[in-house]
Homo-oligomer: A and B are copies of this chain.
């Protein structure tokens, strides 16, 4: 598999589309091969993450937040036919005409004319028909294509079979380019900076809700779109925002996702309001040892399984094994993506990647969680990229017990 050289994440696409022949921002030969393997002739891509990728990092503001609009829903559609990237189309909302005017699309055909699912589908079908070729199998993302759009597509293309295209699209994205890696590095750094700023600014008596809101502000101030924050304080294992207070002497965990230009920073760090005792030091050391052991085998050619094999002895001999868990999974544009390393993840995957070699440019999230019955929730989560020669961890600071502002006020 050749190294990815295209740039699917141009930070500023303003300059694109000014030449004559379109510059395709992803590896279209690879996509064609993946479609061939899956027997797919054309793609109607409707998930925001895959549309972003195929448009070279483009994100309309609806990609971040909004969905519902009028009596329907915003539905961006990228239409691709195998072997003809230059005949791709993007079906966009009417308001995306402002983006088109600024030359933000590499795609030859951009139709900024839809408001909902059905008009977007109709425009996509029109484009497919204009190509004048038979389309035996249309690949869609069945979890990201609304039911009404699916039915409209089926009715409009009765001679085509509609199949799921999750696997080829995910495989296309599995290796990140240097530009994508830089965005992931930035995302991780900014999430960690935000966490440390929150801990530094808050004193005893701050509620979990206040901590989450403070992290939202800190991430936003650093140019991230805040996605979520799971938080525990004291000996509780409950990770929801609430009025529970972080009191003197208590530990804290912050597990947050922040999105930088479409790429995710997702890390977990620990804090304490005061000084950790010996037992807490030892517990976090043990979690840290699992995390460091897990990243050690990571390099091109290693199997995903080697990560699990490396940590297994540690976990087996741990006094805390009954309540300590470990997981590793690919991440990037979304929080769990290829490589699919484990069936312990949220959902089983048709093509498990644990027996396949890791490749440079892949990015793995590594998590060790200890649900200590007496001391509380202790976890580290890291983002580790496969480099040409080994690995690199992003946002790799603040890994010990980070102190809260013991002399500070409850809420800053």
Q: Could you list which residues of chain A lie within 8 angstroms of chain B, going by C-beta atoms?
A: 14, 47-49, 61-62, 64-73, 94-95, 98-99, 101-102, 115-117, 119, 140, 142-151, 164, 166, 170, 213, 216-217, 220-221, 223, 225-230, 238-240, 242-243, 257, 259, 334-336, 340, 345-347, 349-350
Residues in B with CB closer than 8 Å to A216 are: 220
Given A65-B226, A216-B220, A143 contacting B146 (CB threshold 8 A):
yes
Q: How far apart are the CA atoms of A226 and B61 in the complex, in Å?
A: 10
User: How many angstroms from the CA of A117 to the CA of B243 in the assembled complex?
Assistant: 31
For A350, the chain B residues whose CB sits under 8 A away are 71
Select which of B47, B65, B72, B242 is within 8 A of A228 by beta carbon: B65
Shortest CB distance A331–B (Å): 11
Q: Which 10 A-B pairs have the closest CB atoms?
A: A147-B150, A142-B148, A98-B240, A115-B346, A68-B334, A61-B228, A220-B220, A70-B346, A70-B347, A73-B143
A70 contact set on B, CB distance < 8 A = 336, 345-347, 349
A-B contact pairs, 16 of them (CB 8 A): A61-B227, A61-B228, A65-B259, A68-B335, A70-B345, A72-B347, A73-B143, A99-B240, A101-B240, A119-B347, A140-B147, A142-B148, A143-B146, A143-B147, A147-B147, A147-B150
Nearest B residue to A100 via CB reads: B240
For residue A61, which residues in chain B have a CB less than 8 angstroms away from its CB? Answer: 227-229
* Contacting pair B66 A257 (CB below 8 A): yes
Most buried by B among A142, A147, A259: A147
> Separation in Å of the A63 CB from the closest CB of chain B?
10
Q: How far is the CA of A276 from the CA of B303 in the complex (A)?
A: 67
CB-contact partner of A147 in B69, B72, B142, B335, under 8 A:
B142
B residues near A243, Cβ cutoff 8 Å: 14
Q: List the B side residues contacting A150 at CB < 8 Å.
A: 147, 150-151
Complex Cα gap A229–B95 (Å): 12
- A14, A146, A150, A221 interface centre (most CB from chain B within 10 Å): A146
Cβ contact of A149, chosen from B99, B147, B257, B345, cutoff 8 A: B147
Task: Judge whether A346 and B49 touch: CB under 8 Å.
Answer: no
Residues of B within 8 A of A164 (CB): 148
Chain B nearest Cβ from A66, distance in angstroms: 5
Contacts of A239 in B (CB 8 A): 95, 98
Q: Nearest chain B CB to A296's CB is how many angstroms away?
A: 26
Complex CA–CA separation, A140 to B146 (angstroms): 11
Q: Which residues of B contact A144 (CB under 8 A)?
A: 68, 73, 146
Q: Are B64 and A47 in contact (CB under 8 A)?
A: no
Query: What's the least CB distance linking A343 to chain B, in Å?
Result: 11
CA distance A350 to B71 in the complex (A): 9
Q: Which residues of B contact A349 (CB under 8 A)?
A: 70-71
> Assuming A140-B147, A146-B143, A146-B145, is B347 touching A228 (CB within 8 A)?
no
**Does the CB pair B102–A242 fall under 8 Å?**
yes
Bound-complex Cα distance A149 to B145 (A) = 10
Of all chain B residues, the one with the shortest Cβ separation from A146 is B143
A170 in complex: contacting residue of B14, B71, B166, B221, CB < 8 Å: B71
Q: Which of B65, B71, B229 contacts A166 (CB 8 A)?
A: B71
Residue contact A116 to B346, C-beta cutoff 8 Å: yes
Bound: A342/B72 CA distance, A:
16
Residue of B nearest to A213 (CB): B223
Q: Chain B: which residue is nearest A348 at the CB level?
A: B71
A242 to B238, CA, bound (A): 42
Assembled-state Cα–Cα distance A66/B257 (Å): 10
With a CB–CB cut-off of 8 A, which chain B residues contact A65? 64-65, 225-228, 259
